[in-house]
Chain A
Amino acid sequence: MIPFVAKRLWNGFLTLAALATLTFFVMRLAPGGPFSRNRKISPEVQANIEAAFHLDEPVYQQFARYIWGILRGDLGPSTRFRDYSVNDLIAAGLPTSLTIGFWAILVAALVGIALGLAGALRRNGWTDYAAGAVGVIGIAIPIFIIGPLMQAYFSVYLGWLPVGGWNDGWRSLILPVLVLALPNIAYISRLTRSSTIEVLRENHVRTARAKGIGPARVLLGHAMTGALLPVIAYLGPASAALITGSILIETVFALPGIGRFFVDAALNRDYPLVMGITLVYGGFLIIFNIMTDLVRGWLDPRIRHEG
């Protein structure tokens, strides 16, 4: 188990280091500095600003400063929101993003697995067709279409829920979480359905049925693990999809999360903020992938022993 974890941690570290390096150089090489839009500033002011953000130093020095900052957990000042550091902004936006992401993945996993199981156990029953329909909708209609449509119906037309924002407690959560969960529900239910059908045909499940322990135990004790392994493996990449989704969701529903900050920073060339959020996303993705691997290793001794 220890080499299994160590290998994944090391890979995660490599990825993060590569991500930090790539982000830094992409941002340095990208055309147009953060202040090039303000034509009116005098050369002295420009020089002052550049000095304040260390843009006058040679690139390798900036890189060293940046890496040193990351190691100390200091992501530097934001160039757009001058009074805030990147750390402040991430600290302000992360709770919103995490709350939505957490609920969305929870809803997606529970509903997706339930729909997939129902479909697999009662093939061609009404739940199977319902799940199929949800699957098609979730995959073919992108978040940025279904989100606005739900806003138009539930918020503008029916007036049940807030159109957007973060000031109505749990009612602010419902639409964003639902819309973000939908494509994942679609994917997870399809995956669960096909893997359950496949597992139920496996020989070891037949052995379990031959033991006479009853259908419930056969399903929960013997078929479930194999059926859920692919689903768990998908949750790693799903967290990446969730990042994509949260960027859209936060834009559509005007939520103060790091996804919206990221788009804003990218459009305004706020290098430090872009880099900071990229690292946060990368870190989460890596942690999530490692956790996924650990759960798979915990469930499947063959993965665990392989290392």
Chain B
Amino acid sequence: MKADLPKLRSAASVQFSRFSANRMAMISVWLLALTVALCFLGPYAFPFTAEDADFDNISAGVDLFSIHPFGTDDYGRDLLIRVLEGGQVSLMIGFLGALVAGVIGVLYGAVAGFAGGRTDNIMMRFVEVLYGFPYVILVILLSLLLGGGTLALFTALVFTLWLTPAVIVRAQAQSLSRREFIEAARAGGMTSWQIVTQHIVPNTISLVIVYGSLLVPEVILSESFLSFLGIGIKEPQASWGNLIQIGTSQMATDLRLLLLPGTLLALVLFCLNFIADGLRDAFDPNEH
């Protein structure tokens, strides 16, 4: 296994340099990092939180040099802080959700692909049936079942999104399990679980990174979509989805309530998509 290390490293560095040569992807990384920093650190720069109502400044307009640079909503809550804190929720659900769904999918797929035979058949039939479900409907049903709220939404999203990584990893695991080094590991007395976690999973990493990076925008989009419909994250907890919903309802009088969270959400989705594209080109140049 030692002998493989330098080769692995050089492959990784090739991929890294290929990724960093992709201008759009690199710009996206920096923009995304900036947005994340803004969402998580920005609120500390202000003496109030998103829930604090400023009764002297209700529905204040945009005034970049005032204490409320983007104004307040009709409860007197600072709009910028609300959007930034909403961003915390959306980003956290997005990254955590993709991570958890990715881990579940990878393990499920690796086990199915490695086990093969009937186990594989049953496991994949289950995935196939779930795949046939209308995805949003399933999320909505599950989040209802779990009683609504942030955690329910998170669980529902994870439950519906682990399918794609599972299918992809399973195919990879299937071809890996026929390779010599797996035979060798088995002959060397490793247990099946050790083989799955130490050999199969590490060898699917690049695939997982590529598809995992596509999961992040998907989770963020689904979260904001459900919150927009009133099924996901609910007031007074802010998220980009429910802020956009409020923005829509007041669009006729005040477009900024829609534009501020909307722009940030679009920016993040935009960056994530370009990063995912860049990763795919870096890891899998044949695809293009």
Contacts and interface: CB of A to CB of B under 8 A. Distances in A.
Direct touch of chains A and B (CB < 8 A): yes
Interface in A43-97: none
With most chain A CB atoms within 10 A of its CB, the pick from B137, B230, B244, B269 is B137
Given A152-B251, A252-B248, A263-B229, A289 B221 contact: no
B273 interface: yes
Interface string B117-147: 0000000000011001111110011101101
Interface stretch (A209-217, A218-226, A279-287): A279-287
Nearest to A31: B147
B144 A145 contact: no
A23 B244 CA distance: 29
B3 interface: no
A31 B143 CA distance: 11
A207 interface: no
Interface in A138-193: 139-142, 144-145, 148-149, 151-152, 156
B231 A15 contact: no
B251 A151 contact: yes
B224 to A, nearest CB: 7
A30 B128 contact: no
Given A23-B141, A148-B251, A141 B244 contact: no
A255 to B, nearest CB: 14
Interface string B249-266: 001100100100010011
Q: Identify the interface centre among A139, A142, A278: most chain B CB within 10 Å of its CB.
A: A142
B134 A194 contact: no
A240 B135 contact: yes
Contacts of A277: 137
Contacts of A262: 137, 140
A139 B273 contact: yes
Interface string A214-257: 00000000000000000000000000100110011001100000
A18 B229 CA distance: 26
Contact of B266 (A16, A140, A252): A140
Contact of A30 (B144, B245, B258): B144
A156 B248 CA distance: 13
B134 A267 contact: no
A281 B230 contact: no
A140 B136 CA distance: 19
Given A140-B270, A281-B137, A194 B229 contact: no
B145 to A, nearest CB: 5
Interface residues of A, number: 47
A148 B224 CA distance: 15
Nearest to B133: A19
Nearest to B258: A148
Q: Among B141, B244, B269, which residue has the most Cβ atoms of chain A within 10 A?
A: B141
Nearest to B224: A142
Interface in B238-288: 241, 244-245, 247-248, 251-252, 255, 258, 262, 265-266, 269-270, 273, 288
B231 A19 contact: no
A145 B244 contact: yes
B248 A266 contact: no
A88 B262 CA distance: 37
Nearest to B135: A240
B228 to A, nearest CB: 5
A269 B252 CA distance: 31
B267 to A, nearest CB: 8
Interface in B205-232: 221, 224-225, 228-231
Interface of B: 128-129, 132-137, 140-142, 144-145, 147, 221, 224-225, 228-231, 241, 244-245, 247-248, 251-252, 255, 258, 262, 265-266, 269-270, 273, 288
The list of the 3 closest CB pairs from A to B, nearest first, reads A15-B132, A140-B270, A145-B262
11 contacts: A18-B129, A26-B142, A30-B145, A136-B273, A144-B228, A144-B244, A144-B248, A152-B251, A251-B229, A263-B229, A282-B132
